[in-house]
Structure 1
Amino acid sequence: MTHPMWRIATYGAVFFGVTSFTIFWTRFAGGLALVWLGSAIGAALFLALPRARHPLAAAILIALSTLATSLFGFGPTWAFPLALVNIFEAWFIAWLLVRFRPERDYVDSAAGIVSLGFFAGLIGPATAAIPGAIIVSQIVGGNLATHALSWLVGHGLGTMLAMPLALLLQSYRRLNFAPLREAGRTLPFAGLMLLSIGISAIAFFQSTFPSLFFPVVPLVLASFRFGRFGASVVVLLISMAAAASLGMEIGVFAELEIPLWQKALFVQFYLATLLLISLPLAVALKQRQRFLEELIDREAMQRLIADHSDDALLHLDQHGTIRFASPASARLSGRESTDGMHLGAFFSDFDKQVVSDALDAAAESPGRTEIVERSVERDGKTKWLEAKLRAIESSKQQTSAYVVTIRDVTDRKLEEIQASFEARTDALTGLPNRRAFLDELEGRLDVAEKQPFAFALIDLDHFKRVNDAYGHSVGDSVLKEVAEIMRDSTNQDCFFARLGGEEFGMIAVGPALESSAIISERLRRTIQQHAMTDVNGGSFSVTASIGIAVIGERCSTSMAMQAADGPLYSAKASGRNCVRHAQDLKRFAQIDEPPRNKPIAAAN
């Protein structure tokens, strides 16, 4: 890393030489120098130094600027004030660039180039133009606005011409010269530089035919072949040729019927235009090359992942047709190849519409992941596949493709099913629990007006006596055997569940609704007639009271429970071991009145 003092010394020497040359050769009629490159060199130095070194660098540059103006410009009287303004301009340009573009990508991105042109070519020179014009008007007289405009044009164009190359060459943004040293590139670079000199000579040193556009050719070639550095060097060579032609008054510029100072401004505008053509082009090409390299690296990584992943990685076109499928696709799809097939090939035929709907949903919201989870048959076994798909939006805001991952989630799905079953199943009896029953009840209540159903509450009579007389283990056995009786009566139209303790529930729909009273009475008799066994091998019986109601309109869960709870209370009040209902269900079937039985839980 270059020591700050060596950097200050190097930039100071270049600054003094360049400013002395421009003051001596570009001051016409005793006014301002029409080309001022000193601000670019000074600003590049301030950018390269830590802030603590700025005062020292500024003092040295002010001294050098004062000396150059004293020797080749307005003389020693006004040299120091002008030096103060010139170096302030350079420092202010550097401050603006760091303050508003801290990324320091002034020659690396389009935004950086715009920042460079705005702050270095306009704002910085404009800020110094007024105090500079005031000083010059005191020296040579004349119009203040004219001097300010001359300052703005000369300093702005000069800074724009010199600063890109200065930034590329300075150490804070180190340039990689390795490509120029590679075999097969050194000679082309030298040849292109010679070509630029030759074409520039033809363009500027003759006036037979218009040829100012000729230098654009080597400039574009340099931008494509050697990037920003090549473009900056070619602009510098073109500038030298143009300055030589202007100074010798030979060629196309000599034919212009305007004063020499206006010719000098025209040359600066011409050169600045070339720079603004080549530099953004070189930056864009560099960014494109970097993007392509990153794309190649990313594609290689994705291929590696795809080849060794258990998930199927897919790339689809805008119609959902598979354009790329990773090796795992054959196993998950059950096909040797899925190329050219629709994404639905991974799923059953009746799920193709589900897949198409998911693709449409993803296309409507690019960036959002849609998930399809379906069961499939593979080798006689049921498996679950999960597809995650996302649409890729093109520059025209239209879906141009999809990316999809598909994985086997059978184990997870079975765990979810088992967890859901356990969450909805009574652990003791194996019947659906209260939660599952209420879910079923709520679903039936939503359509009760169109599909009436019967709802029953079943309560074992004096069950506490069973626990007290035989123990809780026998009580649990009684609940299990009652649940088995209910399971024998369960079908797609008749649903039983344990609601808690010794209370059960029943929902009957469709054909079971018509025979719900018979089902309830048969259940009561079966429970009564079923012999229960105690721990000593003895037998006893239990009975049940049942309240049943028909729900034919939508209502709340609590109201439905109350509709069946009333008949249940009536059954218990009537001596238990009977069925009572809120509506006249005897029209569905002839029900014999149950005989009075001996007390519940009496031993035989």
Structure 2
Amino acid sequence: MRLSRFLSSPVGVALVFLALASLTVSFARFTGGVAMVWIAGAQLAGRLVVMPENRWGPWLIACSFSSLLATGLFGMGWTAAVPLAFINIAEAAAAALLMRRISIAFWPEETLEWIAGFYIGIGLIIPLVSGALATVVANLTIGASILESFTHWIIGHSLGLITCLPVFRFAYWRWSRGRNCLPNPEKWPFAAMILGGFAMLTIVVFTLDMRPLLVFPLLFVVVGSAMLEEALIAAMPVVLILIGGTFTAFEMGPIALMDMAYGDRIQFFQLYVAVTVLAALPIACERSRRLAELRRMQERLAQLEALEPSAY
């Protein structure tokens, strides 16, 4: 648990943010402009979501320095580092704030409204605003194409938030309550069987050059979201990203052989993972709502049974 406390601290979050941002801006700037893949914002937003807004300051400041270093050392240079740091951190904070607001307003009774707020607000509106600002910065500092930068930013940041924010939110929520992200020890054999089977399926799909087979990992995640506990549901997109992303990055598998530029293939893989999460998220949310409702009914029934002897 010491490791989880460190990873949840401002320094720990900033170090992970720096690692993720450095990796993406050094690897995913395929056209020399903005990164076409962005995960660091979802990581910071996932940490902020589980805290009250009045405590966000240290995490925002620490990650601002991380963004500054990543852009200055590996990205568009020091001239763009300061404004892009502000945009990146503001985007993550806005996503976290909106997620907290829709959770307070709608969760868990109105899951449809929560999902709509997540899709439209976090997946669309926030990346549009941040993308417009970042496009201006990229054009003024390095002369990057406005349309290209705007498109790449929106796709990379939107898919990053949609795909990874639920996963990071789950991890930091568990850690903030002194729990780990693993299933209960008695369920480890079952968890190993499920995740091992999913990993093998993903390896087979990304080894073969048959794009129709991509539907099977998606279906596995969708069906699993209706039956499995949160720890396993959160782990499956991670397994898909690690295996499928590695194959695609090394130009292997069905996506890597598509007749498009390398960067576009990477973004297509991002889209594939995002569609998988989007398809599974409503089912997982509805399952959580029904389980919460069942717990309330059981608690109410226990209260009624406790009061019953006093009636005689």
TM-score by length of 2: 0.86
Structure 1 residues 4 and 187: alpha-carbon distance in aligned structure 2, compared to 1, 3 A threshold: closer
Residue 28 of structure 1 corresponds to 30
Cα deviations by residue, 1:428-476 (Å, 9 ceiling, x for unpaired)? xxxxxxxxxxxxxxxxxxxxxxxxxxxxxxxxxxxxxxxxxxxxxxxxx
CA–CA distance in structure 2, aligned partners of residues 188 and 290 of structure 1: 23
Superposed displacement of residue 273, structure 1: 0.9
Residue 63 of structure 1 corresponds to 65
CA–CA distance in structure 2, aligned partners of residues 177 and 227 of structure 1: 14
SS in 2 for 1:84: helix
Superposed displacement of residue 238, structure 1: 0.6
Structure 1 residues 192 and 135: alpha-carbon distance in aligned structure 2, compared to 1, 3 A threshold: same
Residue 180 of structure 1 corresponds to 183
Cα deviations by residue, 1:320-368 (Å, 9 ceiling, x for unpaired)? xxxxxxxxxxxxxxxxxxxxxxxxxxxxxxxxxxxxxxxxxxxxxxxxx
Q: 1:231 aligns with which of 220, 233, 238?
A: 233
Cα deviations by residue, 1:386-428 (Å, 9 ceiling, x for unpaired)? xxxxxxxxxxxxxxxxxxxxxxxxxxxxxxxxxxxxxxxxxxx
Residue 465 of structure 1 corresponds to none
Residue 292 of structure 2 corresponds to 290
Structure 1 residues 205 and 53: alpha-carbon distance in aligned structure 2, compared to 1, 3 A threshold: same
Residue 44 of structure 2 corresponds to 42
Superposed displacement of residue 150, structure 1: 1.9
Residue 133 of structure 1 corresponds to 135
Superposed displacement of residue 308, structure 1: 7.8
Residue 7 of structure 1 corresponds to 9
Residue 77 of structure 1 corresponds to 79
Relative to its length, the structure with more strand (as a share) is 1
2:184 is aligned with 1:206: no
2:256 is aligned with 1:254: yes
Q: Match for 2:130: what amino acid?
A: A
Contact 2:21–2:40 under 8 Å retained in 1:
yes
Higher relative contact order (CA 8 A, sep 6+): 2
| Equivalences for residues 349-368 of structure 1 within 5 A | none
Residue 17 of structure 1 corresponds to 19
SS in 1 for 2:78: coil
Contact 2:6–2:12 under 8 Å retained in 1:
no
Superposed displacement of residue 217, structure 1: 4.2
Superposed displacement of residue 175, structure 1: 8.3
Contact 2:106–2:113 under 8 Å retained in 1:
no
Cα deviations by residue, 1:529-569 (Å, 9 ceiling, x for unpaired)? xxxxxxxxxxxxxxxxxxxxxxxxxxxxxxxxxxxxxxxxx
Residue 146 of structure 1 corresponds to 148
Superposed displacement of residue 245, structure 1: 1.6
Larger radius of gyration: 1
Structure 1 residues 4 and 118: alpha-carbon distance in aligned structure 2, compared to 1, 3 A threshold: farther
Cα deviations by residue, 1:15-64 (Å, 9 ceiling, x for unpaired)? 11111111122110212211111211222233344444433322221111
CA–CA distance in structure 2, aligned partners of residues 229 and 37 of structure 1: 20
Contact 2:7–2:13 under 8 Å retained in 1:
no
Structure 1 residues 54 and 104: alpha-carbon distance in aligned structure 2, compared to 1, 3 A threshold: farther
Structure 1 residues 7 and 244: alpha-carbon distance in aligned structure 2, compared to 1, 3 A threshold: same
CA–CA distance in structure 2, aligned partners of residues 81 and 129 of structure 1: 12
| Equivalences for residues 379-528 of structure 1 within 5 A | none
CA–CA distance in structure 2, aligned partners of residues 226 and 83 of structure 1: 38
Contact 1:204–1:252 under 8 Å retained in 2:
yes
Cα deviations by residue, 1:242-291 (Å, 9 ceiling, x for unpaired)? 21121110110122111122212211211111101222212222322333
Q: 1:268 aligns with which of 250, 267, 270?
A: 270
Contact 1:125–1:156 under 8 Å retained in 2:
yes
Determine what percentage of the aligned residue pairs are the same residue.
Answer: 23
Superposed displacement of residue 228, structure 1: 3.0
2:167 is aligned with 1:162: no
Superposed displacement of residue 205, structure 1: 2.2
Cα deviations by residue, 1:52-111 (Å, 9 ceiling, x for unpaired)? 4433322221111111112221222322221111111112222333445435849x9443
Structure 1 residues 262 and 49: alpha-carbon distance in aligned structure 2, compared to 1, 3 A threshold: same
Q: Match for 1:54: what amino acid?
A: W
Give 5+ residue unaligned stretches, structure 2: none
Contact 2:47–2:169 under 8 Å retained in 1:
no
CA–CA distance in structure 2, aligned partners of residues 99 and 297 of structure 1: 27
CA–CA distance in structure 2, aligned partners of residues 178 and 42 of structure 1: 17
SS in 2 for 1:254: coil
Count of residue pairs the alignment pairs up? 309
CA–CA distance in structure 2, aligned partners of residues 17 and 209 of structure 1: 32
Q: 1:281 aligns with which of 279, 283, 307?
A: 283
Superposed displacement of residue 293, structure 1: 4.2
